[in-house]
Structure 1
């Protein structure tokens, strides 16, 4: 087997590696023939440049025939495949911004597993203290008994900070919940998030990012309870001997206020504060594919712009699937490092029927175009015969170096 490779350094300081693994009888001519189709698809195996999503501006790697992402006004956004975690495109993915009530997605990921939906709880006065002025409320009352499922409907549909306060009290209290959420975020690889107020209410130093919100959305879709709550349009909320209806405030889900419902929408969570502007995590399914999109603080178009910009990004994502190289991953870096090590170990056993590219280059190496790289052409300056084990080791070292430089000094 002949292994050709190129190693370069990105702006983030991590090495980017491109591997082309032809079969025993492969030649330059056969490689050219294999990659000359009109509409190429992403390689079967790759590792993207781990520093790409740290860059400002829009990050996308379209293949031939792919449309560019829509031009939207949000300060940051991410479009990702919810199944694989691949980030199809992003803008200012790690920019720290106030998350508003989209932080309730992290709250749910943290607290949902701790009680059964049918458990009942009688609310005390202490559990309703400290709710921020102007908070959205579902109407939880002292002395009333609620099922846990009622409280979660209040969180997801009405974005009720009163329901969040009660559930937080049931899970160790406000300060404990803050610490638990911070730990949960780190365990998911969401390192831009700093939790101060678990309900998402504006607080000094509380930030997240479009990347982290997409991570929370993807993780939530793997929990049937989370998915059921976030996709519920209407519910009855108890008020003693009677109940009243509550409606999900996510307009893409309900079609309210002149916003057209998005086909296949699974919901997730919207938010708004005067400091954060409008924020939204959305997910939708079309055929076998599910996408998650996060949008933070559109700069024009009014309060409903966040829904229309999410719609545009979802539409683009479904059209672009299979026509773009991923620019990142929602999976924790530890998972990516394990994947790279497994890829290096399994490399010699891979089928030799066609070229396989392990792509980490954010831009084409000197002397070749982006199109050449995406279509499997061998970059200039490569060294033939480099052992696959050395390449795998270089990739693992690069990822470790980037992880240390970006996160090592930051801590929690």
Structure 2
């Protein structure tokens, strides 16, 4: 029993008790009590060690792994689409103009919000700003199209006219570019800068082999995206009757002397004089799905992009179990910041989550509650003996 303590002595004792508890508490628990500090920023989940920012070709082969194929592209990447492991790459994060492969990000962003059966009559305004020399599917003012028709125009004919109409339905050209930029960041695609949603050359518009593989992989999780990007032929509405359109991805159709790739799923090819030939392709074989990106081959002519993608896919399938990943397509995806905890003084035990520090939230609350009760009891005892209370 404590007797004969002055008010100042009792207050000092309480202060020492609290200080002792705080000294014993782990740093994480003490930090949680400082409720006025700003919440920490979101963290990127980087698997390690990643080699994707290193220069030159990157691969981690085991004994017996096949050698990397000859590839002249300025940037390329081959990854497992199922788990996101990057099997090999070269200049994966090099910022380059993407041409129409940027339409993969456009579709990932806009497609989920537009019902495929929705019918729309095209206005002149929606086609007024289509860039000169753009690839077109033949969308015409005053004609009515289903959204599914327009997506066939995007994926098969790489129609910038179809992109403009879909972007209008999705909120407008600039709003769509902003949404695409936000979507890229949410997927961990940090190299991409969107200016023109159709991939038309524009100052400052860039992406990377890494980012385009991220977009292609994300798109394949949407059954509509996967169906459109893997369609070789379709009918497109015209004056009085429909006409046939064919996918410009030669690995899918086998046109122009390019042999079709067995098990090819899609995804999207592109070309501009500034970007050169670009391609994001995915194929499935033996229960594995691979995604490759090839950007601007320097040798072999206009169809080299398909042959280099073919060699990378062949190498990827032959390397099953024989290489370790050099990075991950999930490696830069930003995790949401944890919710800010309520101040400990105002929280109940059920509101404070347990952690793995050895001091649970409930223990902290119970300990502080016990100290508070002890301080009140001591104060009442002192008052009963005639002691004065200090300022509140």
Same fold (TM over 0.5): yes
Match of 1:148 in 2: 147
> Deviation of residue 114 (structure 1)?
1.1
Q: Work out whether 1:287 is the aligned partner of 2:286.
A: yes
Match of 2:196 in 1: 197
**Whole-angstrom CA distance in 1 between matches of 2:125 and 2:294:** 35
Q: Work out whether 1:265 is the aligned partner of 2:257.
A: no
**Whole-angstrom CA distance in 2 between matches of 1:115 and 1:336:** 27
Provide Cα deviations, 1:63-82, integer angstroms capped at 9, x if missing partner.
11101211210000000000
Match of 2:26 in 1: none
**Whole-angstrom CA distance in 1 between matches of 2:216 and 2:269:** 11
> Deviation of residue 335 (structure 1)?
6.6
**Whole-angstrom CA distance in 2 between matches of 1:337 and 1:165:** 33
User: Does 1 or 2 have the higher relative contact order (CA < 8 Å, sep 6+)?
Assistant: 1
> Deviation of residue 240 (structure 1)?
3.8
Provide Cα deviations, 1:50-73, integer angstroms capped at 9, x if missing partner.
3x1111100000011101211210
**Whole-angstrom CA distance in 1 between matches of 2:219 and 2:239:** 31
**Whole-angstrom CA distance in 1 between matches of 2:183 and 2:64:** 40
**Whole-angstrom CA distance in 2 between matches of 1:237 and 1:148:** 11
Provide Cα deviations, 1:79-132, integer angstroms capped at 9, x if missing partner.
000000000000000000000000000000000011111110000000001111
> Deviation of residue 49 (structure 1)?
1.0
Match of 1:122 in 2: 121
Matches within 5 A, 1:210-221: 210-221=209-220
Matches within 5 A, 1:344-355: none
Match of 1:383 in 2: none
Unaligned runs of 5+ in 2: 1-45, 338-355, 358-392
Kindly indicate whether the alpha-carbon contact (under 8 Å) linking 2:119 and 2:146 is maintained by their aligned counterparts in 1.
yes
What SS class does the counterpart of residue 189 from structure 2 fall into? Answer: coil
Q: CA RMSD in A?
A: 1.7
Provide Cα deviations, 1:249-281, integer angstroms capped at 9, x if missing partner.
000000000000000000100000000000000
**Whole-angstrom CA distance in 2 between matches of 1:170 and 1:289:** 36
Provide Cα deviations, 1:335-372, integer angstroms capped at 9, x if missing partner.
7999xxxxxxxxxxxxxxxxxxxxxxxxxxxxxxxxxx
What SS class does the counterpart of residue 312 from structure 1 fall into? Answer: helix
**Whole-angstrom CA distance in 2 between matches of 1:69 and 1:293:** 14
> Deviation of residue 287 (structure 1)?
1.6
Match of 2:166 in 1: 167
**Whole-angstrom CA distance in 2 between matches of 1:269 and 1:198:** 14
Q: Work out whether 1:93 is the aligned partner of 2:83.
A: no
**Whole-angstrom CA distance in 2 between matches of 1:301 and 1:111:** 35
**Whole-angstrom CA distance in 2 between matches of 1:143 and 1:135:** 20
Kindly indicate whether the alpha-carbon contact (under 8 Å) linking 1:88 and 1:321 is maintained by their aligned counterparts in 2.
no
**Whole-angstrom CA distance in 2 between matches of 1:121 and 1:337:** 37
Q: Work out whether 1:53 is the aligned partner of 2:52.
A: yes
Match of 1:396 in 2: none
Provide Cα deviations, 1:280-328, integer angstroms capped at 9, x if missing partner.
0000000210000000000010100000000000000000121000000
> Deviation of residue 48 (structure 1)?
2.9
> Deviation of residue 143 (structure 1)?
0.2
Instruction: Indicate the structure (1 or 2) with the bigger Cα radius of gyration.
Output: 2
What SS class does the counterpart of residue 271 from structure 2 fall into? Answer: strand
> Deviation of residue 179 (structure 1)?
0.1
Provide Cα deviations, 1:10-65, integer angstroms capped at 9, x if missing partner.
xxxxxxxxxxxxxxxxxxxxxxxxxxxxxxxxxxxx94313x11111000000111
Match of 1:367 in 2: none
Match of 1:306 in 2: 305
Kindly indicate whether the alpha-carbon contact (under 8 Å) linking 1:106 and 1:216 is maintained by their aligned counterparts in 2.
yes
Unaligned runs of 5+ in 1: 1-45, 339-388, 391-412
**Whole-angstrom CA distance in 2 between matches of 1:337 and 1:290:** 28
> Deviation of residue 332 (structure 1)?
4.3
> Deviation of residue 333 (structure 1)?
3.1
Kindly indicate whether the alpha-carbon contact (under 8 Å) linking 1:188 and 1:332 is maintained by their aligned counterparts in 2.
no
The number of aligned residues is: 294
Q: Name segments (4+ residues, structure 1) moved above 2 Å.
A: 332-338
